[in-house]
Chains A and B, each alone.
Chain A
Amino acid sequence: MTERLQFYEEWREAIIQCSRCGFCRAVCPIFDVSKRALANARGKMILLKEAMEGELPVTDGVAQALMRCTTCMNCTVSCPSGVEPDKVIKAARREMVTIGYDNLFKAMGEVVEKYGNIYGEEQRHEWRHKQGKAPYVLFMGCVGAYREEESVAETIRLLDLLGVDFTTIDEVCCSGVLEDVGYKVKEALAQHNVREIRKTGAETLIATCPYCYRVFIEHPSYKDLGLEVKHITQFLAEVPLQVKTEKRVTYHDPCDLGRHSGIYEEPREIIRKIAPTFVEPERTRENAMCCGSGGGFRGTFPRDSLKIARNRLDRIIEETGAEILLTECPSCLHNFRNAKLRRQKIGIYNITEFIAQLYQEGASVGKQAAEG
């Protein structure tokens, strides 16, 4: 099948703006583990240029190559020529789907529609938290609710400890990830979430997952939410905390929270309150390397995704000597926990989860002191 990509007119300028300087090699998590030129943004911009100009037949190989991107945006922020490869690649993925190249997310879209979550799980963990009216409503997201349940449980416990009056809802997948891989948000799911959230009468929605947070803020399907949306780090940054740790703590910026949403300070404000020995990794904030799970990459290339997480984790340990790695993204958390080797003694937590545990330790120490 030989076809010219039709999105030529819309994206031509963006693609030929790449001056092929290759600076994206330094920041691409996939290139970092593969060292293959097709992995980074320059490789993909060249591929698309040739596909648009009819030099390269559009094949399944092109479709596959376009899936090899975590949309982490590290190349976008470091591109001297002002190319936004994450946007171009998402548009190209849509184009490939439109002209008939399937990827595994068509099937995932069906699963999400049927089960309301990306994993096709029939049962959700019973959080035993109140549902109904409250000033705050908590949204957990699929990865937290179905793969990192214990972490979510701790987040819930922390909010309770802090006396936050919040409710959970009968949530379904925000389905935003489908937009990254060539498909569309599932309207029925979005409307279900909007309805359930509105029913609570809450004034603020607290999202634990940075991706869900972005979808609520950015996607038109969620424009009628009618309340303020906050990532949990934005909420927690304003809350006084009574615990501290002496441990050496570091922080990984999730791509969806940092580069995509511009939230860098709030997590650090929280961490500085609880950890005087906070130390930054060498690659941090706008330049933080991706954990390898975003943009449909973990689903499509699980082995490479894990390799990227291991790579990032190894370097964080080497650079910081930290005992505790914090982040606040269920996907990053899940990938790092899967990647961690037994010999690596570092503890990996979401910030909220870690603080909940500090309160727990504090309580048991206090209890011992009282008994002693």
Chain B
Amino acid sequence: MKELIEIVGEENFTDTLEELVPYSYDASVNVQRPNSVVWPESTEQVSQIVAFANEQKIPVVPRGAGTSLSGGVIAINGGIIIDLSRMNRILEISIEDRYALVQAGVVCDDLNGKLAKYGFTFPPDPASSSVATIGGNVGSNAGGIKGAKYGTTRDYVMGLQVVLPTGEVMNTGSRTMKCVSGYDLTKLFVGSEGTLGVITEVTLKINPIPRHAMTAVAAYGRLEDAGKAISQTMSSGITPSVMEILDKITLKSIKENTDIDLPDAEIMILTETDGYTREEVEAQMEVVLRILKENNPSLIKTAQDEKERVELWNARKSAYATLARISTSFVLDDVTVPISRIRELLVGIQEIAQRHGLVVATYGHAGDGNLHPQILYDAYDAEQVEKMERVEGDLFRLAISLKGTLTGEHGIGLSKADYMTLEHDPVEMDLMQRIKRTLDPNNIMNPGKMSL
């Protein structure tokens, strides 16, 4: 691989086995060894790497923090992993024009730390924001807790610099709030999971940080009541910035394994309103609380100060960690359904879990219908692995039957590739294939993902 060394230098290339091992994994169950890893420091270098790979027909997999939950950064056919972590410069922050221009390897929290000094933020907040890169966010169209009110990464990408599979560098989009000039190629690349090119720079729209927030928690003995409370809130004219739920299994796990005090309930809702004045936030919360109360809650609590607010958030924040600690392995999914179908999804998940004899704990973002069923199993037990796969299959079929989607924010990657045709008809699948072939005739860019 002396060509690659010539491009990036000896210290930014490796093909030693020990270094390749960690690059064979992400946060999903998928594993495959790449042949080499490079750490480019400029778009020019990325362009040369991709051009070389295209000429030699070697697969190329762009990678940020490797936090993918769907196998999106696994080099399933081997090849070169392009780790963009060293392209981590914030190139420009323009408060006046409300955008930030960053290299793909910038970490979300680092950007938000800089923006906070101006009172601004890039709102999508995936749980991995302390490590996740902007490039990875764009590639998987990352969301987060505040999706219902603030949308996902897609809503903030104004422009991109992309190294195409031929090695050509394309700049697309604009620095303007409005733009209908030509096809929206920018959005084509958002959520494309590295299958169409390597994103090297991103222009992001930024928002002012709301100055006030209010938090409340409600518990329900019946799923149906909670489902109504969620639907009615989301259609009340008020959009809460947070509308999270924790199901019975999740609540029980947290209760049994931490010292967090929780009610015995079928489901718990955590909600927040935010805004720029106290009055605005209180008026919104008043409406939310009224709806929560009208639907037979077994408990309602509001936070009076920051300390209480942190306490109310405690259970939600510890869900992932608690579940990760109590089981050997887990798969964390992100099926999403229309808000009115959340109750059916929750009931269906528990039916599936019981049918196959595995524990599935569900929590997530009820405000946008995006839930996280966490399937607990033991990856070293062949029987349990098989069960886990069957649970996932049934889960995806359930979500689609409820007019939902396979993935709200983690992406298809390898884990859901086999289920693409559940959601996309042959006409759509065919057009996706044609787009992929047109841009990447040699199929070098992250092959095998999204079943493309």
Contact = CB atoms under 8 A, between A and B. Distances in A.
Nearest to B66: A22
Contacts of B128: 21-23
Given A16-B328, A35-B39, A80-B324, A22 B18 contact: no
A43 interface: yes
Contact of A38 (B18, B27, B328): B18
A26 B22 contact: no
Nearest to A19: B324
Contact of B130 (A26, A35, A50, A56): A26
A57 B20 CA distance: 13
A81 B85 contact: no
A243 interface: no
A82 B321 contact: yes
Contacts of B329: 16, 19
11 contacts: A16-B329, A16-B379, A20-B26, A23-B131, A25-B131, A26-B109, A35-B88, A36-B14, A37-B37, A80-B321, A80-B325
Contacts of A82: 321, 324-325
B21 A38 contact: yes
Interface residues of B, number: 35
Nearest to A48: B21
B16 interface: yes
Interface string A53-65: 0001101011011
B363 interface: no
Contacts of B25: 20, 46
A254 B107 CA distance: 26
Chain A interface size, as a band, is 20 to 34
Contact of B17 (A19, A36, A56): A56
B44 interface: no
Interface core residue of B39, B83, B130, B380 (most chain A CB under 10 Å): B130
A268 B88 CA distance: 34
A17 interface: yes
A25 B321 CA distance: 17
A35 B67 contact: no
Contact of B21 (A17, A56, A80): A56
B22 A43 contact: yes
A47 B18 contact: yes
B130 A19 contact: no
A35 B330 CA distance: 27
Nearest to B16: A61
Contacts of B330: 19
Contacts of A61: 16-18
B320 interface: yes
A62 B130 contact: no
A312 interface: no
Contacts of A37: 19, 22-23, 37, 66, 83
Closest 8 CB pairs of A and B: A43-B22, A80-B321, A37-B22, A35-B85, A61-B18, A26-B130, A25-B131, A81-B324
A47 B21 contact: yes
B98 interface: no
A42 interface: yes
Contacts of A65: 18
Given A22-B131, A37-B19, 12 more contacts: A17-B325, A25-B131, A35-B83, A38-B19, A38-B22, A47-B21, A50-B21, A57-B17, A65-B18, A80-B320, A80-B325, A81-B324
A46 B324 contact: no
A360 B325 CA distance: 54
B387 interface: no
B57 to A, nearest CB: 26
Interface string A1-37: 0000000000000001101111101100000000111
Interface string B1-41: 00000000000001011110111111100000000010100
Contacts of B157: none
B17 A20 contact: no
A81 B325 contact: yes
Interface core residue of B67, B109, B329 (most chain A CB under 10 Å): B67
A36 B21 contact: no
A22 B83 CA distance: 14
B65 interface: yes
Contacts of A20: 25-27
B18 A21 contact: no
B58 to A, nearest CB: 20
Contacts of B325: 17, 80-82
A36 B19 CA distance: 8
Interface string A157-199: 0000000000000000000000000000000000000000000
Contacts of A36: 14, 19, 39
Contacts of A56: 17-18, 21
A81 B27 CA distance: 12
B86 interface: yes
A46 B24 CA distance: 9
Contacts of B131: 22-23, 25-26
B324 A42 contact: no
Nearest to B330: A19
Contacts of B88: 35
Contact of B65 (A25, A47, A64): A25
Contacts of B320: 80
